[in-house]
Structure 1
C-alpha cells in the first residue's frame, strides 16, 4: 500500500496550498493505517473475480435456456392410468 499512499500524498501536495509543510512521515503513517482498515482488493483480484462472475452468469443463462427448452417439451396434459 506504500505506492497507494505515496500517490495520495503527492495528490495532496498538488491540491493543497502549503502541503509541503505537512509532516510527511506522520501523514504517510496515517494514510497507511486508514488504507489497511479499508476493505480493498487489488485490481488483479477484482479482475479475476469479475471474470469468474462473467463465466458464472454465462453458464446460468445457458442453463436457464436449457430449462426453458425442456419445459416446452413437457406434455401439459395429465397422464391417465
Structure 2
C-alpha cells in the first residue's frame, strides 16, 4: 500500500522540524508521528499502483467497447431510418 521507507522518512522529517529545545523528545515524537501517519494512511483505503494500472487498462478496454457499440447502434438507427424513408 504505502512505502514504509517513505513513511519513516516523513516521520523523521517531522521530528526534525522540532525546535532544538525539545530535541530530547525527538525519538519519542518520531515514533508517535510514525504511528499516527500509519494509522491515518491505513484508514484511507488506498490501492497500489499495480491495482490502479490494472483498473486503468480495464477502463480503457471498456471505453473502447462502448465506442464500438455506439457506432453499431448509430449504424442500425441510420439503417432503420433509411428503410422508413422508402
TM-score tier by shorter-chain length is 0.7 to 0.9
1:41 and 2:47 are equivalent in the alignment = yes
Moved over 3 A (4+): 10-14, 16-20
Tell me the number of residue pairs that the alignment of Structure 1 and Structure 2 aligns.
77
How many angstroms does 1:71 deviate by?
1.1
Gaps of 5+ in 1: none
Taking structure 1 as the reference length, the TM-score comes to 0.74
Specify the alignment match of 1:58 in structure 2: 64
1:76 and 2:54 are equivalent in the alignment = no
Gaps of 5+ in 2: none
* Greater helix content: 2
Of the three residues 22, 30, 47, the one matched with 1:24 is 30
Q: Which SS does the other structure have where 2:71 is aligned?
A: helix
Q: In structure 2, how many angstroms separate the alpha carbons of the residues matched to 1:7 and 1:65?
A: 52
How many angstroms does 1:11 deviate by?
4.9
RMSD: 2.6
**Residues 64 and 37 from structure 1, CA distance in 2 versus in 1: closer, same or farther, beyond 3 angstroms?**
same
Q: How big is each residue's C-alpha offset from its partner over 1:29-66, in whole Å with a ceiling of 9 and x where there is no partner?
A: 11100010112111111111011000000000000001
